[in-house]
Amino acid sequence: MKLFYTGPVINAEMLVTMLDKHGIAATQAFVDPAAPDDGDLSRPAQVFVSAADYDRAHQLFYTEREDEL
């Protein structure tokens, strides 16, 4: 698995869902797994995708789209 994103858990959860809709399996983990799970939506989390899917995921979410201009 390769790190794809680090940020607030609320964004990480949405990203995992969006990746799944594109057929890309992703997992999410808290940056500090020892911290208490107090429901804080800004708690730092990481999203991981397989190395085989990384380039496709990056293209979907980070490449500028010319067709949106």
Q: Dihedrals φ, ψ of 64, to 5°?
A: -65, 140
Number of domains in the chain: 1
Give the CATH number, domain containing residue 46.
Answer: 3.30.70
Tens digit of pLDDT for each residue in 11-59?
999 999 999 999 999 999 999 989 888 888 999 999 999 999 999 999 9
Assess whether pLDDT exceeds 70 at residue 68. Answer: no
Assess whether pLDDT exceeds 80 at residue 65. Answer: no
Beta bridge partners of 18: none
Closest CA to 32 of 13, 6, 54: 6
Structural domain for 24, as ranges: 2-68
